[in-house]
Amino acid sequence: MTVPALADSRHDTDELPSDIARKARRLLGSLVRPRLGRVVLCAVVSFIAILAAVLDPVFVARALDLGLPRAMDGDPTALWWALTGFLAVTLIGGAGTWLNIRLVGGLAQDIMFELRTRLFRHTQRLDLGYHERSTSGRLVSRQTSDMESVQQFLSNSILDAIVSGGQMFFIAITLLVMDWKLALVVFAGFVPLVFTSRAAQRRQRAAHRRTRTSIARVIVHFVETMGGIRAVQAFRRQPAGRETLRKEDEQYRDANTDALRGIAWFSGSTRLIGNVTQTLVIGIGAWFVIEDWTQVGVLAAFVLYLRRFYGPLDELVQTFNLYQSASAALEKIAAVLDTDPAIDDPRTPARLPDRTASEASGAAGAGAPGRALDFDRVRFSYGGDREVLPEFSLHIPAGQTVALVGTTGAGKSTLVKLVTRFYDPSAGTVSLDGVDLRELTDARLRESVVMVTQESFLMSGTIADNIRIGRPDASDEEVQAAGRAVGLDPYVSALPEGYDTDVRKRGGRLSSGQRQLVSFARVFLADPDVVVLDEATAHLDIPSERLVQSALETVLAGRTAIIIAHRLSTVEIADRVLVMDAGRVVEDGTPKDLIAGTGRFARLHRAWRDSLV
């Protein structure tokens, strides 16, 4: 395992398009639009709760300026009405706040559920080329830390912003009604505040974009290290790994430090502006009272309102910080969702020719006749590199098993990636029974073409769950029949829980041979037309290899098959051998004919035979 250098971790998938902010807003709009009715309800409840919270100093002013003098004259009615009104708006405000938290929280969770579902569904649709360019760690970062940042803002901060902003708006109107001259003094403080906010917004957005990118790199390194922990420990790469993480983590720390410095500057500036404004209001208000231009109760209400008017600025500062973080995170998510799959379903799908009645009558898994594969002047290169397949043509009849042999880089893996349509050719066509693979839906193609890789990857769950991946609606009896067909049943029957045995992480409870047999059972259950194998026995010992070879013959019976053969023993079950070099077929024939010849395959076979002596 190679521990990536710091420079190598800056991947092109970290680069955001110039209009990503607009795309992020459009994404948020698409999530909110179907829930507009609930948004309106939240707005109405917020309006009532905020209005109730704003009105209570008005009742205080009425109690001081009207109720108290009348009570002193023997009429407490106005005072009682003021106190009753104060109590009523307090209760309404409390109930409205409780209801609003529940409504906004539920709405935010629904939005996040859809966003997570969209992202997961879309990343599964993205082509293999995207996943090879990107890393699983970056996608983990999108689904975890970035989602958490967006959720925190929607669930908590946005409600605080609505309440604080609404409260300031209603207080401003109330202040104008009570004393417009004194209110102008309050509003004068917003002039420097606007300029401060605009400067902070630009600085914070850049800082938080850096935090999202840097934490993604930390997660990438952690995921890769834990995924390859055996290689890391075997080759004593722990010090190098720690050094790489230290550099990545330093970038994350520095980005967070810059963001915190920005928020400290913004918070300190707003606090200073608010305190200066309050001082001016108290001083000028006292002068107004002395000159009999306003009343003591109005000044008292202004003082109470000022605390509520500039007090929410602290909440808005924190909300502003979380908004910048969530905005940067949403941009990262939007960038993934805005990526179009290079491989997608056609607008007008084609249909494969129907099998004849005799072909269709075969039982599932019994080796129904395969379909013909054709490569017609196919050219392919990876992202502008040299052509791996320079004008390649080949015909594979239905039901034929073809073994691909050649050195590393000869084009074998590229050929099977085109058959499975993990990539599309740069030119030419790959067709199945005369139908271009690009004209088939992905679902139809996956029914007809199945690939088994060297890794024989198993998902978390039971043995039965992993076999049932081949056909999710298969019954327990069909799953067990597939296991018996490939020779897996004796091993599974010896386990206490049989087919309900948990395979553990990546199938760690099973041996390499048993994992490969599970993969074959999937294929047998899926009953495809074409099977593509990336050397099924490459990592197996001799006894396991013989067992798997026997199961392989069962799986391939009657089907069209392409096998990448790293071991020449695999070639023995093939009907035809293709020796590839630099993307071209240099030898083509039956195993027996090629062994008897004097070409490359004959030399490879002799070297293999001599190694067994």
- The domains of the chain, with CATH numbers, are 28-337 (1.20.1560.10), 368-611 (3.40.50.300)
For the record, the structure tokens of 546 come out as 């013989």
- The model's pTM is 0.69
- Please report the pLDDT score of residue 418 as a whole number: 92
Helices and strands: H and E segment counts in the chain? 25, 10
Burial of 153 (0-12, 13-18, 19+ CB in 10 A): buried
For the record, the structure tokens of 107 come out as 């709405």
List of residues 6+ apart from 507 with CB closer than 8 A: 456, 457, 458, 466, 515, 518
For 581, phi then psi, to 5°, come to: -155, 125
For the record, the structure tokens of 163 come out as 């309440």
Q: Cβ–Cβ contacts within 10 Å for residue 324, how many? A: 25
Burial of 523 (0-12, 13-18, 19+ CB in 10 A): buried
Using alpha carbons, list the distances in angstroms from residue 315 to 43, 76, 94, 260, 308.
19, 39, 18, 15, 11
For the record, the structure tokens of 93 come out as 């405000």
- Give CA–CA dist 559/547, Å, rounded: 20
Residue type for 545, please? Answer: E
For the record, the structure tokens of 242 come out as 């720690």
Helix (H, G, I), strand (E, B) or coil at 536: coil
> Number of C-alpha atoms within 13 angstroms, CB side, residue 266?
26
Nearest to 570 by CA among 401, 400, 399: 401
Query: Would you state the torsion angle of the CA atoms of residues 571, 574, 575, 581, taken in this order, to the nearest 10 degrees?
Result: -50
- Give CA–CA dist 564/589, Å, rounded: 16
Asked if 232 and 1 touch (Cβ cutoff 8 Å), the reply is yes
- Please report the pLDDT score of residue 396 as a whole number: 93
> Number of C-alpha atoms within 13 angstroms, CB side, residue 1?
19
- Please report the pLDDT score of residue 230 as a whole number: 67
- Please report the pLDDT score of residue 168 as a whole number: 76
Q: Cβ–Cβ contacts within 10 Å for residue 412, how many? A: 24
What letter does residue 504 receive in the DSSP assignment?
A: -
Beta bridge partners of 578: 404, 588
DSSP per residue, 465-491: HHHGGG-TT--HHHHHHHHHHTT-HHH
What letter does residue 63 receive in the DSSP assignment?
A: I
Query: Would you state the torsion angle of the CA atoms of residues 13, 16, 21, 23, taken in this order, to the nearest 10 degrees?
Result: -50
- Give CA–CA dist 196/194, Å, rounded: 5
- Give CA–CA dist 547/488, Å, rounded: 9
Binned average pLDDT, 10 residues per bin, the chain of 613 residues:
37 63 88 89 84 77 79 83 86 85 87 90 84 76 84 76 74 80 79 73 70 78 73 74 82 81 76 78 81 76 72 67 80 88 85 60 48 92 79 91 87 90 91 92 88 78 88 89 86 86 75 83 88 71 66 81 79 88 90 86 79 60
- Please report the pLDDT score of residue 603 as a whole number: 85
- Give CA–CA dist 193/270, Å, rounded: 7
- Give CA–CA dist 160/321, Å, rounded: 13
- Please report the pLDDT score of residue 538 as a whole number: 57
Q: Which residues of 584-608 are buried (b: 16+ CB within 10 A; e: fewer)?
A: ebebebebeebbeeeebbbebbeee
Asked if 389 and 414 touch (Cβ cutoff 8 Å), the reply is yes
Asked if 479 and 467 touch (Cβ cutoff 8 Å), the reply is yes
Beta bridge partners of 451: 532
Helix (H, G, I), strand (E, B) or coil at 394: strand
